[in-house]
Structure 1
Amino acid sequence: MALTGGRPQPRAGASGKDHGPYGRGHAHPSCSASITPAAAEPLRHGRVLRGITPFPPRSRWPHSNKPARLRSLWYQWPAVSASECILNEESHVHILTTGIAGFIGSRVTEMLLEQGYQVCGVDNMCAAYDLRLKEYRLAKLRGREGLDFYQADIADRDAISAVWRESGPFDAVINLAARAGVRQSVENPWVYVEANMTGTLNLLELCRHSGVRKFVLASTSSLYGGDNPVPFSEDAETSRPLSPYAASKKGAEALCFTYHHLYDIDVTVFRYFTVYGPAGRPDMSLFRFVQWIHEERPLRLYGDGTQSRDFTYVDDVARGTILGLKPVGYEIINLGGDSPHDLLELIGLVEREAGKKGKIERHPMHSADVMATWADVSKARRLLDWRPEVSLEEGVALLSAWYLENRQWAKDIDTAD
């Protein structure tokens, strides 16, 4: 794979014709005729579904007779700026992206497809929160040329291996599948270890045995805990995580370094800071505040509201994640808004958009929460030429507009702890 200013071309054999919602295969049952999650058929957990025809067998690759050629081309990447991180027209770039029905994963997948990459998308469609949000995100991907979709769990070694055999080989893996959430992890730590550590290990093992040279991991700012000075540098102390969620992500980061050291897999680890935006996670404060204020429900505020967060718009995070496909060796990189805001200020922004006042109901701050987060993004600027572009005011307006457009069903999304 050589990096130039060109763009990746469609896979060999792709006709470019419209073969239905997911290409040549059958429409995914979660996608209805329009983007209306309420009308979508529920999915059974653990079922593997194919989207378009699988990646052509290795013997049918006209430009690359053996996967080894792809592996050797890795070492021919010239030194280029991150803004040129697009693969050239001779490459047929196939990326395994996990968690594509998730908030960040769906937006990353959209951007990859827009840039001409071929994507094998995986999601287990777990009901950690209302599946209508995941179905909505998947519906936005329907009909996109170059997408395979499989319902499978990365923590299930047999299931993800079956996807790998059928749709591979791959040039890179972007692992965005995870169980997220600080407070929930305290109640059920086992599922976090299974998804975030075992799932990552399964993917790294598949990369190791099939020669995939690039791995991107989604991690979290929760690792920085409550004792580090702000803004948080990637070199800050992270050996004392305050929640099982943070601990599981620390374990995933450690596994990535081990596989980089032992097997020379190039790894970019991103620590995301409080990602928000349209169709976001309903356990996050911004989704909750928008829903609660618009529907005039009690607004549960944990702590006194002076705790601050470095809110980061989802498009900025997705853009940075794709830039992470460039070769870096092994690097941990913060992606954050670089402008922390306290929760009371955030509530005020939502109130102004809604034209309503929130009915604040105060609760004690959770012991796993921290008072402040703030990303030092100088490393992302230096290595990836990345910087956040969407201000919190703009992002809140976009989220509020999305909520009003989808209020008929979004108002019923469960936002409980």
Structure 2
Amino acid sequence: MRCLVTGTAGFVGFHLARRLLDAGHQVTGIDGLTPYYDPKLKQARHAELARFGSFHPHICMLEEAGRLGAVYEQAAADVVLHLAAQAGVRYSLDNPRAYIDSNIVGSFNLLELCRRSPPRHLLIASTSSVYGDSTDFPLAETGPSDHPLSLYAASKKAVEAIAHSYAHVWDIPTTLFRFFTVYGPWGRPDMAHFKFAERILAGRPIDIYNHGQMERDFTYIDDLVEAIVRLSDLSPIRGGAKAAATDSSSRSAPYRIVNIGGGQPVKLLDFVEEIERATGRKAIRNYMDMQPADVVRTEASTDFLEALIDYRPTTPLSVGIAEFVRWYRGYYQV
């Protein structure tokens, strides 16, 4: 199978591309290698993928419509997996334009290409952040998501809506998946598990927001990739099949939204203690107030995911954190 994956130098895109390459698929990768965080880490991920002769990387920004179009045409992909985006809730307070350019304009450019030459299945990454401060737990795909608290979340919600219109008008089978706090080896340096491990191992204080009174539905990266791969084999149809009460399939388009999370929230302080166990060191804790645009709790409804692919993330936090710390020590030689 020929696959086009955007964001192959990013955390999730790298793992997904590697999984596809391991399975013998052809992967055309696109990444802009932006300096949002250390480009050397992104280059190292691409170097890992370059070990496969069936990996064809292109350094390109999604906003560059002409260059993106040339890569898309060359890839002639059966499946398009769109992971590239400007990530991060808090960074959207500092550099909002990056989210409009990358997430909205970039996604629009890709959708235009899919309109002209439709793949068998288009899969696009979204986020649990679109649920805002909803307390209707577990958060279901059919629940409210019209009040995002950050521009990051708003940009992702916009892409969900734009993708639906393209799926309806141009009959493009499209799946949006909403991530729930993904973690694991090769993670992003701005993510909590990365920052906590880095600072604990260096003997520096860690910032714990809302005085630790937070919960997250953590999802191990291998589980996330497994779910994406299974979903990629199952293209949506117009009207769906009402596989579950939370089935988000559109009545007017071959389109659906699927949560990918375990449905098992973990308290933030338990998360910190797990990193302490894995590193063998105690954290110096700096308790702080809640950050703007953040939420207190996330918890995924997994009913629709399980109905579609008979699977949900189950890797225990103790296993996933241990794997991350093992990778971190090896990569950074600490």
What is the TM-score normalised by the length of structure 2?
A: 0.92
| Distance in 1 of aligned mates of 2:38 and 2:118 | 37
Could you tell me whether the CA contact under 8 Å between 1:213 and 1:264 is conserved in 2?
Answer: no
Could you tell me whether the CA contact under 8 Å between 2:120 and 2:235 is conserved in 1?
Answer: no
| Distance in 1 of aligned mates of 2:271 and 2:108 | 37
Q: Per-residue deviation at 1:145?
A: 2.7
Given the alignment, which residue of 309, 314, 329 partners 1:404?
A: 329
- Matched with 2:268 is 343
| Distance in 1 of aligned mates of 2:178 and 2:316 | 19
- Matched with 1:239 is 146
Could you tell me whether the CA contact under 8 Å between 2:103 and 2:156 is conserved in 1?
Answer: yes
- Matched with 1:161 is 69
Could you tell me whether the CA contact under 8 Å between 2:185 and 2:323 is conserved in 1?
Answer: yes
1:388 aligned counterpart, secondary structure: coil
| Distance in 2 of aligned mates of 1:161 and 1:146 | 20
Given the alignment, which residue of 167, 176, 179 partners 2:83?
A: 176
Q: Per-residue deviation at 1:98?
A: 0.3
| Distance in 1 of aligned mates of 2:127 and 2:169 | 24
Structure 1 residue 268 corresponds to structure 2 residue 193: no
- Matched with 2:37 is 129
| Distance in 1 of aligned mates of 2:97 and 2:120 | 30
The count of residues paired between Structure 1 and Structure 2 equals: 316
| Distance in 2 of aligned mates of 1:256 and 1:213 | 15
| Distance in 2 of aligned mates of 1:351 and 1:145 | 39
Q: Provide Cα deviations, 1:71-126, integer angstroms capped at 9, x if missing partner.
A: xxxxxxxxxxxxxxxxxxxxxx2111100000000000011111121111100101
- Matched with 2:2 is 94
1:303 aligned counterpart, secondary structure: helix
Q: Per-residue deviation at 1:143?
A: 2.1
- Matched with 2:187 is 280
2:273 is aligned with what amino acid? G
Deviates more, 1:96-105 or 1:297-306: 297-306
Could you tell me whether the CA contact under 8 Å between 1:303 and 1:363 is conserved in 2?
Answer: yes
2:285 aligned counterpart, secondary structure: strand
- Matched with 2:286 is 361
1:149 aligned counterpart, secondary structure: strand
1:324 aligned counterpart, secondary structure: helix
Structure 1 residue 370 corresponds to structure 2 residue 278: no
Could you tell me whether the CA contact under 8 Å between 2:217 and 2:265 is conserved in 1?
Answer: yes
Stretches of structure 2 that go unaligned for 5 or more consecutive residues are: 237-253
Superposition pairs for residues 20-59 of structure 1, below 5 Å? none
Structure 1 residues 211 and 353: CA distance shift in structure 2, 3 A: closer
- Matched with 2:241 is none
Deviating beyond 4 angstroms after TM superposition, the runs of 4 or more aligned structure 1 residues are none
Q: Provide Cα deviations, 1:273-329, integer angstroms capped at 9, x if missing partner.
A: 000001101111111111111111111111110200011001111111122212113
Could you tell me whether the CA contact under 8 Å between 2:212 and 2:287 is conserved in 1?
Answer: no
| Distance in 1 of aligned mates of 2:51 and 2:292 | 45
What is the TM-score normalised by the length of structure 1?
A: 0.74
1:143 is aligned with what amino acid? R
**Kindly, what percent of the aligned residue pairs are identical?**
40
| Distance in 2 of aligned mates of 1:371 and 1:211 | 40
Given the alignment, which residue of 55, 75, 100 partners 1:147?
A: 55
1:262 aligned counterpart, secondary structure: helix
Structure 1 residue 294 corresponds to structure 2 residue 204: no
* Structure index of larger Rg: 1
Superposition pairs for residues 45-84 of structure 1, below 5 Å? none
Could you tell me whether the CA contact under 8 Å between 1:273 and 1:311 is conserved in 2?
Answer: yes
Q: Provide Cα deviations, 1:338-379, integer angstroms capped at 9, x if missing partner.
A: 211111111111111222110011222112000000111111
Could you tell me whether the CA contact under 8 Å between 1:207 and 1:213 is conserved in 2?
Answer: no
Stretches of structure 1 that go unaligned for 5 or more consecutive residues are: 1-92, 412-417
Given the alignment, which residue of 120, 123, 140 partners 1:216?
A: 123
Structure 1 residue 119 corresponds to structure 2 residue 27: yes
